[in-house]
Amino acid sequence: MSVPLSDLPRQLLEELLAMGVDTRKTYDDVAAAVEEDVPGEDVTSEATVPSDASDWADLEVRADGVVAGLAVAELVFRYVVGDAVEVTRHVADGEQVTPGDVVMSVRGPVRSLLTAERTALNYLCHLSGVATTTSSWVRALEGTSAKVRDTRKTTPHLRALEKYAVRCGGGVNHRATLSDQALVKDNHVLAAGGVVSAYLAVRSRYPSLPVQVEVTGLHQLQELLEVGAEQILLDNMSTSQIAEAVSVNAGQALLEASGGLTLARAPEVGETGVDFLAVGALTHSAPVLDIAMDLRAGGVES
């Protein structure tokens, strides 16, 4: 157990980098997750599985969904099992899957496979759940020009992976950190003395930074349009209010609806002509996609 980062396949590391995640951080997070699960030894596997037993195991989907996180699951197996593991993927991230689909097969020492199983599945099931939830919103918005966008309501230490999973499901990412875009919310507006004052303060301090401002009424929207705001968040507005905001905006700024949104309501909100729907539930409330690992029938090889 505990394969160094430098000994992992270059192709896997390049894939993680292409996903938009920090490979060193992801490796360290996986190592910490494994350590959390196995601070000593896997006592059940040590007691029940012969030390020389080797076999294939299949990761099988048990519900309809969209898969995401296969590279991280592979990283877990390679970290725990080392050079003795063989990994075969049968689908790619972003693909629709149905019950009975095998998304990945792994072969190696059975003890090590079983030790890695839960950590690998924790990542894969959660990220696939985010992708699946996102895909549901994307389907709900079909026929409109609106896109579903995530938020910073993510699991600590998993933001980059969860935002990757949102993309796998067909969604769009909002800012990743408090540093890469300004989002002026109600408390900022109160502190600055108004939406225009807050917007101009950010624009003056950070002239090249994207700025989005939250509004709760059409009068605030109009004030921001008059000073050239380019992104405006419509907070907790009814569908009719959103439609009126779109009319007032007349294509001047990008508009994002936020607050009180549900999957059932998504189509009517999308039909207003708003550009984005901000949905924190993509990451903070996504149910996992049920995926299980099973040793192949016929028993282990020894």
pLDDT band at 127; cut points 50, 70, 90: very high
Does residue 73 contact residue 124 with C-beta atoms inside 8 Å? yes
Domain match, 142 and 120 both:
no
Query: Where is 226: in which H helix or E strand?
Result: helix 218-226
With 70 as the cut, is the pLDDT of residue 298 above it?
A: no
Residues 83 and 198 grouped into a single domain: no
User: Considering the chain, what is the average pLDDT of its residues?
Assistant: 96
Per-residue tokens: 77: 């197996």
Q: What is the pLDDT of residue 5?
A: 95
- Alpha carbon of 69 to those of 28, 76, 103: distances in Å? 16, 11, 11
Q: What distance in Å separates the CA atoms of residue 138 and residue 147, rounded to the nearest whole number?
A: 7
Report the CATH number at residue 68: 3.90.1170.20
For 241-280, the pLDDT digits (tens) are: 999 999 999 999 999 999 999 999 999 999 999 999 999 9
Same domain? 103 vs 191: no
Q: Are 10 and 117 in the same domain?
A: yes
Per-residue pLDDT tens digits for 101-112: 999 999 999 999
In this structure, the answer to whether residues 212 and 238 fall within a common structural domain is yes
Catalytic residues: 118, 153, 185, 214, 235
Is 179 a member of any domain?
yes
Find the domain containing 108 and state its range.
5-130+287-295
187 and 76 assigned to the same domain: no
36 and 162 together in one domain: no
The reply to whether 274 falls in a domain is yes
Integer Cα distance of 130 and 162 in angstroms: 7
CATH of the domain at 161: 3.20.20.70
Residue 116, pLDDT > 60, answer: yes
**Considering the domain boundaries, does residue 102 fall inside one?**
yes
pTM of the model: 0.95
Compute the distance between CA of residue 234 and CA of residue 218 in angstroms, rounded to an integer.
9
Per-residue HEC secondary structure of 184-210 comes to ECHHHHHHHCCHHHHHHHHHHHCCCCC
Q: Which of 161, 142, 139 is nearest to 150 (CA)?
A: 161
Our count of domains for the chain comes to 2
Residue 301 lies in a domain: no
pLDDT of residue 297: 66
